[in-house]
A and B are shown apart, each in its own frame.
Chain A
Amino acid sequence: DTEVTQTPKHLVMGMTNKKSLKCEQHMGHRAMYWYKQKAKKPPELMFVYSYEKLSINESVPSRFSPECPNSSLLNLHLHALQPEDSALYLCASSQDLRVAGQETQYFGPGTRLLVL
């Protein structure tokens, strides 16, 4: 099973709302990722968690707050977003073997976010 699930599939929120995106995997992977993909653009990395610790933050604004409660679950908390934050938010996971170059990242279907 190479499935990464994401909920919700779609989300519409106002600029004053607080919402959360959820990502789950049951492959025993120890690395989890958030990417943002704007329309007709490639995905761009936001955050990386390795063994439940934040290891990479690509200078993401603080209105995006990641959380990794356990090795299977990754959340992205959203607060005071702007319309330009509207995008497809993709979660991914990988084994985190600590060996360079051997890992495949598996992606979920994404959450399509619209900020009004």
Chain B
Amino acid sequence: KQEVTQIPAALSVPEGENLVLNCSFTDSAIYNLQWFRQDPGKGLTSLLLIQSSQREQTSGRLNASLDKSSGRSTLYIAASQPGDSATYLCARLMYSGGGADGLTFGKGTHLIIQP
């Protein structure tokens, strides 16, 4: 089973700051990397998916990058807002990646944006 590690485990910053969340994985034979957001007691909201052939994806103030050779992905959040406060999870496919395949998640980064 693949390992996914997220650093830092928790982060608290003032509103308006740009910040970077880190995700690392043990096997460079990765098919994609997906970033999610989870609000307390809620389900997961998909933010970005980066396929192995891509280096980055952008959605609004979010930018995710993927470096297979180093086994790392980063999620960049620009101009952070209090509404960005949540737990951010990265996940990779568990097995072959050929269609329906489960996800292995990191433990997440708990982000607090101070007003």
Residues of A within 8 A of B (CB): 4, 6, 30-31, 33, 35, 41-45, 48-50, 55-56, 58, 88, 90, 92, 94, 96-110, 112
Contact = CB atoms under 8 A, between A and B. Distances in A.
Interface of B: 31-32, 34, 36, 41-46, 49, 51-52, 89, 93-108
B38 to A, nearest CB: 9
B41 to A, nearest CB: 7
A112 B42 CA distance: 9
Contacts, number: 83
Contact of B100 (A44, A94, A108): A94
Nearest to B46: A104
Interface residue SS majority, chain B: loop
Given A45-B94, A102-B51, A107-B44, A97 B105 contact: no
Q: Which 5 A-B residue pairs are closest in the complex by CB-CB distance?
A: A101-B31, A45-B102, A31-B100, A42-B105, A100-B97
B45 to A, nearest CB: 7
